[in-house]
Amino acid sequence: MTDRSPSPTDQALTGRVDTELRMLADALELVRSGASERVTLGGLEFGDQLLARARNLAARAGLSVVALYGTDETSGTDLVIERPQMVGDEAAPGNVPHGDTHR
């Protein structure tokens, strides 16, 4: 019989992914609620792997996520969560981005 319990390394990785997901959710809520215009999560170890999920969650909240990649492969990925920039008539007072009903 094979031992199927997670190794300490697996547990550490799972813990790190969970932490980064919580950070992402908190950052999205800060921007969605208007408490911050933009949040940058820097040096995420799993930022590249979480990018599609982050963009999906952000889109549901009327936000956007941009990945910033450094030249150092060991520094992780930065994710910037922000409201999409409005131009022209969309920037008129009282207009909010599509999908943002919380203002």
- Considering only CA atoms, give the Rg of the chain: 17
Task: Find out whether 78 and 47 touch, Cβ atoms under 8 Å.
Answer: yes
Specify the higher pLDDT residue, 1 or 3: 3
Q: Which tokens sit at 54?
A: 């982050």
Predicted model pTM: 0.71
CA dist., res. 25 & res. 41, Å (int): 11
Residue type (1 letter), 85 = Q
Task: For residue range 35-50, list pLDDT tens digits in order.
Answer: 999 999 999 999 999 9
Specify the higher pLDDT residue, 8 or 90: 8
